[in-house]
Amino acid sequence: MRIRAGLLEGARGLALALLSQLGSLALLILAINAIAFTSIGIGLFLTPAVMVAVRGHANLRRRLAREWYGVEIAEPYRPAPEFGPGLAGRVRRWQWLVTDPATWRDLLWMAVDATAGLALALIPPALIGYFPYGVVLALGVWRPIYHAGGGEWFTFVHVTSQTTAWYAAALGAAYLLVGLAVNPTIMRWHAGLTRAFLAPTKEQELSLRVAHLAETRSDALDTQAAELRRIERDLHDGAQARLVAMGMSLTAIEHLLERDPEQAKKLLAQARESSSKALAELRDLVRGIHPPVLAERGLGDAVQALALASSLRTEVTVELPGRLPAPVESAAYFAVSEVLTNAAKHGGAHRAWIDVRHADGMLRVSVTDDGHGGADPARGTGLRGIERRLATFDGVLALSSPPGGPTIVTMELPCASSSPRTSSC
Amino acid sequence: MRVVLAEDLFLLRDGLVRLLEAYDFEMAAAVDNGPELERALAELKPDVAVIDVRLPPSFTDEGLQAALRARRATPGLPVLILSQHVERLYARELLADGSGGVGYLLKDRVFDADQFVDAVRRVAAGGTAMDPQVISQLLAGTARAEPLARLTPREREVLALMAEGRSNAAIAQRLVVTERAVAKHTSNIFAKLDLPPSDDDNRRVLAVLAYLDRS
């Protein structure tokens, strides 16, 4: 196990050393030139292209650090705004890149990676490689080298005879043993070095967070404004109009009461019907704003109620410690509702399983259906909208929907306690 | 007949008191919050209770919870729940003990005084009064779709009215047919849904509701 790990790290070191030259060094030179060429114009076009490669390279190294060494390195890049077309767009794209501190840190990292990173990454393969080399020397290869006039220095051993060649082989074996022992540690240091330069600084982290918050806040405000407009329209065209009609009927009834009681009776029936319809419309509206079961019982029972109302055969498991903060409950409820509707409408599902639980300060909801799968958020099945709404709460949505199904939508919402009644959250 | 009424909106409470008194009910108590309701149910042991689902102080389903607790203490205590919205989930909880004497209606149903009072009387007598909206929610469930599809449209109508808790006589009157015709429909329905026939109106209704709510 230890031997395998030592050898593996040697190979990885070699790979990273190659990447540091073919990737970091080459891209560093390209990037410096591209930015320098901005003064004569073509840099405007070159810089973005090169930076795409630089970021790709850096992201590859972030991924390798995570997959090989479990070292998480977050991306520090600012999200891209809309650039617009034409030259102005080009300039804005260029501006976005060169004003992002992450760009300059990438360059710095590439300089470090091409030098210190290279040196560090070469140690593990060197420690391994010296052993076969020493053996080859000892098996006779030292002779032609020596006769050709070159005395081979095997690190600090000058190989001039069979004896010294054997020393070299023995030293190689010692290097190998050392390598097997320390290679994993050295490569972890290498990953640490990568993180030191590639991870966002505290300042970048904060500015990314601010950018994220600003985006989700504006999304939330848009959604809310749209929702208010919808409610206003529904009230205006629905309940309000019906109440006006009722008022008019009542006035007419007042006039007809003595002259034409029959007609008055008819109008009364009409007025009553109007009031029933107004109530029904208000009920639907309320359900869309904040479902009564949710208000009265909380998320668990509200999801049960959804399951009962769904056209799918739905099984629900709920493990919640009590009530959650109202906004989280509401977001989760509408997300589940939409996912269920999607499953029935677009997924061709017949059955669904909903799991709602709370653990480690996270509300986790998963909805699985037996539909034909192949759901793609990019094709706008409402998943994007759910994702956006969850983002307001720093929530995330994961979708697994292979063709042929099943589709599993998992949502996670961090939820902090907000009041004594919800302190269990 | 002694009634306990729980409704937090003054206008509606007042209106209901007048309505019930006009139909010769005796108001044992008219309360406006959960704790008082609980006390009234425990102490006054009314013949029937008319309760709003949502009550102060918590404005959650306090009325329903009080009703369910009271029925656990006094099995079969007749309760009629009123609400601005009906939920199949709540209907299921009310019916869970299988002892009847429950009603669950939208507040709008109060508009039709005769129908409403009829529902109160039915519940007081140990029958059921389910809102047509609950029934349509039950009928919309796909779990029972296939056997229900075997019913004729008329039989479905009869089934819905029966599930609301109406007697054969009431159904006959509503559909403008003879009671014998209704009886024939109901026995057809029971045969098609594979339910054990029963002469007792209340048992029959509960069986149908249990059948529809199976999922």
For residue A75, is pLDDT > 80? yes
- The predicted pLDDT at position A424 comes to 43
Tell me which H or E stretch contains B102: strand B102-106
A418 or A157: whose pLDDT is higher? A157
Residues whose CB falls within 8 Å of the CB of residue B104, separated by 6 or more in sequence, listed in order: B80, B81, B83, B86, B90, B91, B94, B129, B130, B131, B134
Mean pLDDT of A52-78: 90
* 3-state SS assignment for residue B82: strand
Q: What is the pLDDT of residues B52-94, one digit of tens each?
A: 999 999 888 999 999 999 999 999 899 999 999 999 899 989 9
Mean pLDDT of A157-181: 87
Find out whether A380 and A406 touch, Cβ atoms under 8 Å. no
Give CA angle at B25 (B65, B7), nearest 5°: 35
Q: What is the band of A420 on the pLDDT scale with cuts at 50, 70, 90?
A: very low
Cα dist from A99 to A31, A93, A131, A214, whole Å? 15, 10, 49, 19
pTM metric for this prediction: 0.74
Set of chain A residues whose Cβ sits within 8 Å of the Cβ of B141:
308
Q: Per the CB < 8 Å rule, is B88 touching A308?
A: yes
Burial class (CB in 10 A: 0-12, 13-18, 19+), B31: buried
For residue A417, is pLDDT > 50? no
Mean pLDDT of A55-84: 88
For residue A365, is pLDDT > 90? yes
d(CA A401, CA A388): 19
Q: Which residue stretches of chain B have pLDDT < 70?
A: 141-144, 215
Q: What is the band of A133 on the pLDDT scale with cuts at 50, 70, 90?
A: confident
Residues of B with a Cβ under 8 Å from any A Cβ are 53-54, 59-61, 83-85, 87-90, 92, 106-108, 111, 137, 140-143, 215
For residue A26, is pLDDT > 70? yes
Test mutation, A282, A296, A340, chain B, max B CBs within 10 A? A296
Closest Cβ opposite residue B87 in set A275, A293, A312: A293
Find out whether A291 and A329 touch, Cβ atoms under 8 Å. no
Q: What is the pLDDT of residues A326-355, one digit of tens each?
A: 889 999 999 999 999 988 888 888 899 999
Q: Per the CB < 8 Å rule, is A311 touching B140?
A: yes
Q: What is the band of A380 on the pLDDT scale with cuts at 50, 70, 90?
A: low
Q: What is the band of A416 on the pLDDT scale with cuts at 50, 70, 90?
A: low
Closest Cβ opposite residue A305 in set B53, B54, B89: B89
For residue A419, is pLDDT > 60? no
